[in-house]
């Protein structure tokens, strides 16, 4: 059943009501790049495929080797790495081979397979990034006690990412739009150029629910985190200014790279769908496609290798030593969150979530409802207890 629908879908995309392969095999002379252009594309795809494969494989090796990395949040990162690695294994080699020869090499069924698997795994990556940002938002700003051992919630987020993605990428196999040649004919994707109501409706839905919606979730989640950290810095500048700058840099990097990789591809698709015929040239169509594929290289760098835990484990792997157990490693699976509410002069409440990894934190009680002189200030330890202070992370829950 699927095979018959695939054949019909690809025949419709490739043009020709009889389903012949002449259209695809001839590779659309009007879409051809020059030999130099195909060579440049092949080199770019080779670099992207190689580094994407190495980066994501290294991430999975670190995750499997070091148990300390197996926190709930890191499982979401592993889902992203798996989807990116599959793109490098199941998709990029075919477009690389096609670019070296200047034509598509594995026929109509292969074109449909390539278009489906790349679309599916690309959407998985996008939705996973949105789920990751929302999970960070809920974890860091939730007013309830934190429970980092809640793997069930993370598993639901991962399952949602993959199921949601396959729901939106299966329809072209069954008649709602289709997969076919893209750009110069050395890659395949959704048929952006068809002007039928069937095709246009699918492209609009795909753009809204698989690009705009996840971007909105990412901006909202990280925006609220920045707002919370800014509120905290106004009360305790000395403690949180450096953290605010670090989080701001991380958020800006994530959002900019998301837009750099996917927004040009989305704009190209909309121009091909709604613009005048021939508006999107072969060179203009292949550049956004390469940028989208480059996300398989950038995601591990931004979300994982900028993480101090993974950096320590990577250094230990290279040096064949035991990872240094920094503060982020102490009881990474058991985080206790203490909430404190401070009423500001304007009547608004700011709730501080103090996540302690290690010994419990003891706070000086507020007398008469007044605010303590220092947020996170600890009383003297009880008799018989050590004087070591635990490492404390401050997060703000801002009540509007």
- Residues 137-156: tens digit of each pLDDT: 887 766 444 455 578 888 99
> What is residue 398's predicted lDDT score, i.e. its pLDDT?
43
How far apart are alpha carbons 314 and 301 in whole angstroms?
12
Total length of the chain:
400
> Cα dihedral angle (138, 139, 142, 147), rounded to 10 degrees?
130
Query: What does the H/E/C string look like for 166-214?
Result: HHHHCHHHHCCCCEEEECCCCEEEECCCCCCHHHHHHHHHHHHHHHHHH
Mean pLDDT of 334-356: 44
Predicted TM-score (pTM) of this structure: 0.75
Radius of gyration of the chain (CA): 25
DSSP run (H or E) holding 338: strand 336-343
Contacts of 1 by beta carbon, 8 Å cutoff, 6+ apart: none
- pLDDT (tens digit per residue) in 220-273: 988 888 887 777 666 666 555 666 677 777 778 888 888 889 989 989 888 888
DSSP annotation string for 239-280 = HHHHHHHHHHHHHHHHHHHHHHHHHHHHHHHHHHHHS-TT-S
Q: Tokens 């793997």 identify what position?
A: 151
Contact (CB, 8 A) for 174 and 112:
no
How far apart are alpha carbons 348 and 350 in whole angstroms?
7
First to last CA, the chain: 54
Measured from the Cβ of residue 89, the count of other Cβ atoms closer than 10 Å reads: 15
Cα angle value 257/260/266 (rounded, 5°): 130
Domains along the sequence of the chain with CATH: 2-209+261-319 (1.20.1070.10)
- pLDDT (tens digit per residue) in 37-76: 899 999 999 999 999 999 999 999 999 999 888 888 889 9
- pLDDT (tens digit per residue) in 76-99: 989 999 999 999 999 999 999 999
How far apart are alpha carbons 203 and 193 in whole angstroms?
10
> What is residue 312's predicted lDDT score, i.e. its pLDDT?
87
């Amino acid at each position: 059943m699927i095979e018959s629908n695939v054949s019909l879908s690809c025949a419709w995309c490739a043009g020709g009501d009889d389903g012949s392969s002449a259209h695809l095999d001839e590779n659309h002379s009007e879409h051809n790049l020059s030999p130099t252009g195909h060579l440049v594309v092949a080199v770019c795809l080779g670099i992207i495929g190689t580094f994407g494969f190495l980066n994501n494989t290294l991430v999975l090796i670190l995750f499997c080797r070091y148990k300390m990395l197996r926190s709930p949040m890191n499982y979401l990162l592993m889902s992203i790495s798996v989807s990116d690695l599959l793109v490098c294994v199941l998709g990029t080699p075919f477009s690389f081979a096609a670019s070296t020869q200047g034509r598509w090499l594995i026929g109509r069924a292969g074109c449909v397979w390539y278009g489906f698997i790349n679309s599916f795994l690309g959407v998985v990556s996008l939705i996973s990034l949105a789920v990751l940002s929302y999970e960070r938002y809920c974890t860091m700003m939730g007013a309830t006690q934190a429970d980092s051992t809640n793997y069930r919630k993370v598993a639901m987020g991962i399952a949602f990412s993959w199921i949601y993605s396959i729901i939106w990428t299966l329809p072209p196999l069954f008649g709602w739009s289709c997969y076919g040649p893209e750009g110069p004919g050395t890659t395949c994707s959704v048929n952006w150029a068809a002007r039928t109501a069937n095709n246009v409706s699918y492209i609009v839905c795909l753009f809204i629910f698989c690009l705009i919606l996840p971007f909105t979730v990412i901006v909202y989640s990280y925006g609220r985190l920045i707002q919370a950290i800014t509120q905290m810095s106004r009360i305790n500048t000395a403690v949180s200014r450096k953290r605010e700058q670090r989080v701001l840099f991380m958020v800006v990097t994530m959002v900019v790279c998301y837009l750099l990789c996917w927004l040009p591809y989305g704009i190209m698709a909309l121009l091909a769908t709604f613009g005048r015929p021939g508006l999107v040239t072969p060179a203009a169509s292949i550049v956004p496609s390469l940028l989208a594929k480059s996300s398989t290289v950038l995601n591990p760098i931004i979300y994982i290798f900028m993480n101090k835990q993974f950096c320590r484990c990577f250094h230990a792997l290279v040096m064949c030593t035991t990872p240094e157990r920094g503060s982020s490693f102490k009881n990474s699976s058991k985080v206790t969150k203490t909430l404190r509410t401070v009423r500001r002069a304007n009547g608004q409440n700011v709730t501080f979530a103090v996540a302690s990894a290690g010994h419990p934190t003891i706070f000086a009680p507020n007398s008469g409802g007044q605010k303590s002189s220092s947020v996170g200030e600890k009383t003297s330890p009880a008799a018989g207890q050590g004087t070591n202070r635990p490492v404390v992370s401050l997060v703000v829950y801002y009540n509007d």
